[in-house]
């Protein structure tokens, strides 16, 4: 694993090229909602579908960055990052449900439809506060962050690594899926949340809302990328790479490995939570399926395909695999899972450094 992964700091000229390409890519993405305003018969017109699906992929790219920070750099292969994404999504979902107010089918002044249907008399205590946007944002970060802190502390302190850690994180997301499927959890059970009306006073399902959510996601992707870059190019980034490659040696140098791993795992979970919060209003639904272990594994495959241990690779992987998925599930829906598995095997065998390995020279 160690020798095949690029070092965190590329050389000067290469770094400049990467920067220019990235700034160009962000500008191209930022143009999409503007081109959507052109008349539909224009050659440059971009459809609503493209704008909304690209906005969704941007949130996936943020999730991929989060996974890459933990896996590609610190060697923490989490197969449960979808849980952090879904928890952030549920926080946003609760906020959106509260904003529906009396416009629900049952017209109850405070209770969401599913609660009226299930016979709730009043709002459960853990729904309080979610009518405020800042509180929701805080919870979309704090809930995944706290979960990562507890699970991470117990696992890292006991020096659980490798496949055992992966299994624990997988079990975590599976357990949450089962819990959220239950109606008496107060999160809408099987159906989750949908029929959202508005966010920050802005009616959803309008061009303006689509564009606003798109730009918010793009802004978060840029910020997340800069934060991750700052970390991976600092001494902390080199400590993480050292932990990935020779964990016990790092301890003998006097580093508290548990602290470093917890830092990166919690930060990664917070990023995934924010990504999930931006994902939900763009797709208009959140249900327990988002916790399914398959989602987490798929996200890990994006990172592997793009190139783990490089932040650009993670983003590239999220976009390219999802583009392939969108195309393939339209032309041959039955083939998708085979293609995904085949892709993972092919990348592991022939492109161990991922797509990014095609563009950069092998390390010296």
Instruction: Kindly state whether residue 311 participates in binding another protein, applying the rule CB under 8 A.
Output: no
Contact 244, 85 (CB under 8 A): no
State which residue, 121 or 361, has the beta carbon closest to another protein. 361
Q: Which is nearer to another protein, 115 or 264 (CB)?
A: 264
CA-nearest of 167, 111, 122, 169 to 144 is 169
* Options 51, 69, 77, 239; binder of another protein; rule CB under 8 A: 239
- Cβ-based nearer residue to another protein, 320 or 360: 360
Write down the least CB distance from residue 309 to another protein, Å. 9
Instruction: Decide whether 105 or 246 has the Cβ nearer to another protein.
Output: 246
Within 10 angstroms of residue 61's Cβ, the number of other Cβ atoms is: 26
How many residues bind another protein (CB under 8 A)? The answer is: 31
Q: Which residues contact 340 (CB under 8 A, 6 or more apart)?
A: 298, 301, 321, 325
Question: Which of 242, 299, 315, 343 forms a contact with another protein (CB under 8 A)?
Answer: 242
Q: Tell me how far, at minimum, the Cβ of 74 lies from another protein, in Å.
A: 11
User: Nearer to another protein by C-beta: 132 or 249?
Assistant: 249
Shortest CB 149 distance to another protein, Å: 13
Angle of helix 311-331 versus helix 48-68 axis, rounded to 10 = 140
- Residue 58, token pair as written in the block: 């941007």
Question: Could you tell me where the beta strands, DSSP code E, fall in the chain?
Answer: 193-194, 198-199, 202-203, 285-286
Mask: binding to another protein, 257-286, rule CB under 8 A, as x and -? x-xx--xx----------------------
Q: Does residue 182 touch another protein according to CB under 8 A?
A: no
Name which of 7 and 292 has its Cβ closer to another protein. Answer: 7
**Residues paired with 202 in a beta bridge:** 199
Shortest distance, CB of residue 235 to another protein, whole angstroms?
A: 4
Please list, in sequence order, all residues whose beta carbon lies within 8 angstroms of the beta carbon of residue 92, skipping any fewer than 6 positions away.
136, 140, 276, 277, 278, 280, 281, 286
Q: Are 110 and 210 in contact (CB under 8 A)?
A: no
Please name the residues in contact with 343: beta carbons below 8 A apart, sequence gap of 6 or more. 301, 305, 321, 324
Query: Binding mask 198-237 vs another protein (x if CB under 8 A, - otherwise)?
Result: --------------------------------xx--xxx-
Query: Can you say whether the dihedral through the CA atoms of 282, 287, 288, 292 is positive or negative?
Result: negative
CB count within 10 Å of CB 51 equals 21
Residue 15 touching another protein (CB under 8 A): no
Quote the tokens at residue 67: 């996974």
Q: Does 148 bind another protein (CB under 8 A)?
A: no
From the CB of 245, what's the least distance to another protein, in Å? 5
Which residue, 136 or 241, is less far from another protein as judged by CB? 241
Best CA proximity match to 153, nearest among 142, 143, 165: 165
Residue ranges that bind another protein, judged by CB under 8 A: 2-3, 5, 7, 230-231, 234-236, 238-239, 241-242, 245-246, 248-257, 259-260, 263-264, 363-364
């Amino acid at each position: 694993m160690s020798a095949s992964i690029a070092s965190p700091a590329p050389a000067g000229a290469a770094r400049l090229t990467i920067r220019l390409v990235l700034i160009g890519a962000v500008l191209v993405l930022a143009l999409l909602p503007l081109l959507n305003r052109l008349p539909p018969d224009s050659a440059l017109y971009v459809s609503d579908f493209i704008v909304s699906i690209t906005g969704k992929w941007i949130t996936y790219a943020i999730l991929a960055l989060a996974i890459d920070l933990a896996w590609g750099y610190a060697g923490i292969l989490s197969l449960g990052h979808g849980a952090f994404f879904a928890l952030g999504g549920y926080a946003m979902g609760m906020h959106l449900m509260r904003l529906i107010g009396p416009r629900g089918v049952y017209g109850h002044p405070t209770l969401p439809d599913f609660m009226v249907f299930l016979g709730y008399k009043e709002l459960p205590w853990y729904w309080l506060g979610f009518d405020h946007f800042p509180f929701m944002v805080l919870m979309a970060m704090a809930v995944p962050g706290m979960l990562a802190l507890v699970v991470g502390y117990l696992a890292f302190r006991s020096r659980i690594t490798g496949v055992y850690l992966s299994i624990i994180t997988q079990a975590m997301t599976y357990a949450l899926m089962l819990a959220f499927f239950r109606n008496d959890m107060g999160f809408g059970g099987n159906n989750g949340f949908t029929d959202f009306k508005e966010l920050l006073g802005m009616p959803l399902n309008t061009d303006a809302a689509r564009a606003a959510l798109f730009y918010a996601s793009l802004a978060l992707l840029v910020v997340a990328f800069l934060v991750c870059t700052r970390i991976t190019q600092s001494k902390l980034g080199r400590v993480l790479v050292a932990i990935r490659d020779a964990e016990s040696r790092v301890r003998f140098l006097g580093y508290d490995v548990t602290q470093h791993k917890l830092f990166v795992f919690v930060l990664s979970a917070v990023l995934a939570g924010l990504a999930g919060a931006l994902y939900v209003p763009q797709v208009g639904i959140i249900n327990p399926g988002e916790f399914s272990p398959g989602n987490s594994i798929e996200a890990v495959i994006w990172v592997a395909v793009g190139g783990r241990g490089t932040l650009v690779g993670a983003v590239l992987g999220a976009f390219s695999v999802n583009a392939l998925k969108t195309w393939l599930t339209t032309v041959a829906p039955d083939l998708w899972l085979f293609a995904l598995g085949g892709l993972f095997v092919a990348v592991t065998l022939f492109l161990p450094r991922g797509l990014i390995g095609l563009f950069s020279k092998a390390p010296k």
